[in-house]
Chain A
């Protein structure tokens, strides 16, 4: 069996703000305050726990990491012999170190980047490695809104081992989410969608996938896509939103759309990809009185349908199209995982938010809909 390469990144300060009630550890000032408050680094121990699950695979894996507490120390503590990509002073590691590590690992063609941290770390990994490299998070941060982490360090280690041994081969795209720590400290929660990391698919071991697994996401997307295919009208302008679910449908319908952008079609024919609000309004003007529909999905774990990652579909666009011509699509698993919480809208316009609240039908399969509450 070929030797698999694993990139290992530990954000040693991740999680330090949590125990002192600081809600996060983004920014040097906050880190200093955390240290004053007696915060102890917990991420290294959590990373070690995950790495201990890779013991026994030494002959089959090669670990690339960064010096000191950014991975080397934890790997050695777990009894593994890593290769150090570059050296850093571990007292002052920053997000730039994480990004540099992820960049070099992606360039080295690693099979998996295993990183320990929180949402901030996931954002850094995503910014450097994008969606082409398979990644997996060991939960160690204060904030875990992203769906890219194992449900605990042990499970993350187990899943990494299974993936490296080829026992888990499927991957999926999971949301990288983060909240504004400043706003959170002031009592406001404002989560943003930053992108998608590709993670090994094992619903039992990855957070956010707690909704069972008889019907795979792929099957559900097939059913939703066939339904749209049979109901889409060639004379109608479709504004196709962002995210993995809509992207999955775009691919199935043969539309060359984007993952993180809003695309526009006439029926199934692409008119414009990755459009801005201005372009959307122009296209609606050109279309005159003809019918237009918006297709959006639900952000996993959060429930947002407007205002997160799809701000191009602005209040003005939504008003022009109208509530009845909004098609929300989602897998049943995704809706179930909201645990009874409502769908959310945060369009930036109180008026449009109010118009959208109430109940909406969400397309979950062929001729199947789930009625969900929408709140702002």
Chain B
């Protein structure tokens, strides 16, 4: 049995690191390339001479001038000031499905036979990756029950946008595009289920949950009708509650002539257990970077694998990957006249698909089901530990088990001590654990905390996280100021003036903007 250790003496590196631009010394070089030999110059001639005037720089780019050693040190310092993946029990990011991603898949992605493929190569010279795309699509079909998939979208929100675009094309072909202009979603579905269809031009109608936290079927019945284009719904929702009436939701929308999209970003817990097609859905998507074990701590790359029923397949983005029945050869099919078009360059993020394929094949059907079962078991064990902490509650679904995550509330502790979830989540960092995710906005659950202990965390990892939360809850009573001023042992301190984040004259996302706003340029 491994030990459960709460790291009370943890301390993160604090480098007081300047910006890379501030490290710049005029004239310093990382490498000085040798001058080309005379024969080469003679053979090539004036390389830049062929560039049109309009795209030539008038001045050299203002890049920082730093030598190799200091570039390396700079980025090592920044890495040490980050609580990245695989350093600790990073179950903190509820809804993000943070899990251990087997390192062997990184070797595959770095293999030159894959890494050096160029997307403009002829299909015949990249049969390997096309076969992986084709076979992975078959896996996704088996997992979901859908008829076709695209692996092009760059993430979940992009997949939802792709589906919304295809749904609009479907209604257009039925002469109902003008009339069917509303997409329905629920408050505890992912915000992209509202934002992506809105980007695709739809009006958004969001259903509030019932007082017991379950999605409100009567609210759906009250608003569904001839304007309904689709429902975009997450199940289980971000509360970890499974919607037991999901088939009814689908039926009500389909009876009204709408299309049903299931956001499966929380699909980790349903692998091998429930198929979205069997609940009647027309569309769904999975986040390969979450459920299918691809590192995603640094905002990408990701892939939103989006599936649909045969009836909608003609609208899929081009190219699709097909296999010639006679020769067994794989090819890219660009000849899809009713496609909504291309939604990402080339094939999308092929490295993500390769890793996901490798993981799914390694796990096998039984392994995928075990993933789902372990993630539910881990969450429920975590819940048993956390429920004992005074001041925290798991609102809604009284007497029912949650699936893979839970949206908790620190409201009681906040009322007693003045210490809120934003304080507690910063204090978590003082124990070498990643600051947890509170909630999407707006906060329907007051003082929220969302934690998703995926299948790869050990019993000891889960106990460590629960013990840290218990300790902070106690500190909120004994030393609330200390918690409110946290973190104390992390690379960065608490933001002093939250209000400045609302003030465009105070913040900057680039060095150039920073200099301008500071009056330095």
- Kindly state whether residue B187 has any CB partner on chain A within 8 Å: yes
- Kindly state whether residue B340 has any CB partner on chain A within 8 Å: no
Select A210's contact among B198, B205, B206, B446, beta carbons within 8 Å: B446
Q: Which of A5-13, A102-110, A149-157 sits within the interface?
A: A149-157
- Kindly state whether residue A373 has any CB partner on chain B within 8 Å: yes
- Kindly state whether residue B422 has any CB partner on chain A within 8 Å: yes
Residues of A within 8 A of B444 (CB): 211, 336, 339-340
Select B216's contact among A202, A204, A367, A373, beta carbons within 8 Å: A373
Select B442's contact among A168, A202, A211, beta carbons within 8 Å: A211
- Kindly state whether residue B404 has any CB partner on chain A within 8 Å: no
Residues of B within 8 A of A364 (CB): 206
- Kindly state whether residue A283 has any CB partner on chain B within 8 Å: no
Q: Which of B172-180, B217-225, B310-318 sits within the interface?
A: B217-225
List residues 473-487 of chain B with CB under 8 A from any CB of chain A: 480
- Kindly state whether residue B211 has any CB partner on chain A within 8 Å: yes
- Kindly state whether residue A258 has any CB partner on chain B within 8 Å: no
List residues 399-445 of chain B with CB under 8 A from any CB of chain A: 411, 414-415, 417-418, 420, 422, 439, 441-444
* A357-B482 Cα distance, complex, nearest whole Å: 48
List residues 176-234 of chain B with CB under 8 A from any CB of chain A: 187, 194, 198, 202-211, 213, 216, 218-219, 222-223
Which residue of A is nearest B223, CB measured? A371
* A216-B502 Cα distance, complex, nearest whole Å: 8
Residues of A within 8 A of B496 (CB): 167
Interface size (A, Cβ < 8 Å)? Answer: 37
* A167-B496 Cα distance, complex, nearest whole Å: 9
* A167-B497 Cα distance, complex, nearest whole Å: 7
Using a Cβ cutoff of 8 Å, how many contacts connect chains A and B?
101
Residues of B within 8 A of A213 (CB): 441
| A212-B222 contact in complex given A361-B205, A369-B204, C-beta closer than 8 Å | no
User: Are B206 and A155 interface neighbours, CB within 8 A?
Assistant: no
- Kindly state whether residue B499 has any CB partner on chain A within 8 Å: yes
* A337-B198 Cα distance, complex, nearest whole Å: 24
Q: Nearest-CB distance from A266 to chain B (Å)?
A: 26
Which residue of A is nearest B205, CB measured? A369
Residues of A within 8 A of B446 (CB): 210, 337, 339
Which residue of B is nearest A211, CB measured? B442
Q: Nearest-CB distance from A113 to chain B (Å)?
A: 21
User: Are B204 and A212 interface neighbours, CB within 8 A?
Assistant: no
Which residue of A is nearest B417, CB measured? A152
Residues of B within 8 A of A369 (CB): 203-206
User: Are B420 and A169 interface neighbours, CB within 8 A?
Assistant: no
Residues of A within 8 A of B194 (CB): 368
Residue of A335, A340, A372 with most chain B CB atoms under a 10 A cut-off: A340
Select A204's contact among B187, B205, B209, B420, beta carbons within 8 Å: B420
Residues of B within 8 A of A215 (CB): 441-442
Residues of A within 8 A of B411 (CB): 210
List residues 209-234 of chain A with CB under 8 A from any CB of chain B: 210-216
| A151-B502 contact in complex given A341-B211, A370-B187, A373-B216, C-beta closer than 8 Å | no
Select A371's contact among B207, B213, B415, B422, beta carbons within 8 Å: B207
Residue of B198, B213, B496 with most chain A CB atoms under a 10 A cut-off: B198
User: Are B447 and A368 interface neighbours, CB within 8 A?
Assistant: no
* A361-B223 Cα distance, complex, nearest whole Å: 8
Which residue of B is nearest A360, CB measured? B222
User: Are A370 and B418 interface neighbours, CB within 8 A?
Assistant: no
User: Are A367 and B222 interface neighbours, CB within 8 A?
Assistant: no
* A214-B498 Cα distance, complex, nearest whole Å: 11
User: Are B219 and A367 interface neighbours, CB within 8 A?
Assistant: no
User: Are A154 and B480 interface neighbours, CB within 8 A?
Assistant: yes
User: Are B414 and A151 interface neighbours, CB within 8 A?
Assistant: yes
Q: Nearest-CB distance from A303 to chain B (Å)?
A: 11
List residues 105-137 of chain A with CB under 8 A from any CB of chain B: none
Q: Nearest-CB distance from B47 to chain A (Å)?
A: 49
* A372-B211 Cα distance, complex, nearest whole Å: 11
* A373-B216 Cα distance, complex, nearest whole Å: 10
- Kindly state whether residue A358 has any CB partner on chain B within 8 Å: yes
| A204-B498 contact in complex given A336-B443, A369-B205, C-beta closer than 8 Å | yes
- Kindly state whether residue A143 has any CB partner on chain B within 8 Å: no
List residues 50-91 of chain A with CB under 8 A from any CB of chain B: none
* A367-B207 Cα distance, complex, nearest whole Å: 15
| A212-B418 contact in complex given A359-B223, A371-B206, A373-B216, C-beta closer than 8 Å | no
* A364-B206 Cα distance, complex, nearest whole Å: 10
User: Are A152 and B443 interface neighbours, CB within 8 A?
Assistant: no
Which residue of A is nearest B499, CB measured? A168
User: Are B441 and A340 interface neighbours, CB within 8 A?
Assistant: no
Residues of B within 8 A of A265 (CB): none
- Kindly state whether residue A308 has any CB partner on chain B within 8 Å: no
- Kindly state whether residue A245 has any CB partner on chain B within 8 Å: no
Q: Nearest-CB distance from B448 to chain A (Å)?
A: 9
- Kindly state whether residue A333 has any CB partner on chain B within 8 Å: yes
User: Are A340 and B502 interface neighbours, CB within 8 A?
Assistant: no
Q: Nearest-CB distance from A56 to chain B (Å)?
A: 14
* A204-B222 Cα distance, complex, nearest whole Å: 35
User: Are A368 and B219 interface neighbours, CB within 8 A?
Assistant: no
Q: Nearest-CB distance from B16 to chain A (Å)?
A: 24
- Kindly state whether residue A99 has any CB partner on chain B within 8 Å: no
Which residue of B is nearest A340, CB measured? B211
* A204-B441 Cα distance, complex, nearest whole Å: 14
Which residue of A is nearest B201, CB measured? A367
Contact with B along A335-376 (1 / 0, CB 8 A): 111011100000000000000001101001001111111000
| A151-B415 contact in complex given A340-B208, A359-B219, A361-B205, C-beta closer than 8 Å | yes
Residues of A within 8 A of B187 (CB): 336, 370
User: Are B418 and A154 interface neighbours, CB within 8 A?
Assistant: yes
- Kindly state whether residue A332 has any CB partner on chain B within 8 Å: yes
List residues 28-43 of chain A with CB under 8 A from any CB of chain B: none
* A361-B220 Cα distance, complex, nearest whole Å: 11
Select A359's contact among B203, B204, B222, B417, beta carbons within 8 Å: B222
Select B204's contact among A167, A337, A367, beta carbons within 8 Å: A367
User: Are B205 and A371 interface neighbours, CB within 8 A?
Assistant: yes
User: Are B206 and A212 interface neighbours, CB within 8 A?
Assistant: no
User: Are B222 and A371 interface neighbours, CB within 8 A?
Assistant: yes
User: Are A212 and B439 interface neighbours, CB within 8 A?
Assistant: yes
* A258-B263 Cα distance, complex, nearest whole Å: 44
* A359-B208 Cα distance, complex, nearest whole Å: 10
Q: Nearest-CB distance from A15 to chain B (Å)?
A: 15
Residues of A within 8 A of B417 (CB): 152
Q: Nearest-CB distance from A363 to chain B (Å)?
A: 11
| A152-B206 contact in complex given A215-B441, A341-B211, C-beta closer than 8 Å | no
Contact with B along A157-178 (1 / 0, CB 8 A): 0000000000111100000000
Q: Nearest-CB distance from B243 to chain A (Å)?
A: 16
* A17-B3 Cα distance, complex, nearest whole Å: 52
Q: What are 22 A-B pairs with beta-carbon distances under 8 A?
A: A167-B499, A204-B420, A211-B442, A212-B442, A332-B441, A336-B444, A337-B446, A340-B210, A340-B444, A359-B218, A359-B219, A359-B222, A359-B223, A361-B205, A368-B204, A369-B203, A369-B205, A370-B206, A371-B216, A372-B208, A373-B208, A373-B219
**New A-B pairs, 5, CB < 8 Å, besides A336-B444, A340-B210:** A151-B415, A151-B420, A211-B442, A341-B211, A371-B223
The 5 A-B residue pairs with the shortest CB-CB distance, nearest first, are A336-B442, A359-B222, A212-B441, A212-B443, A211-B442
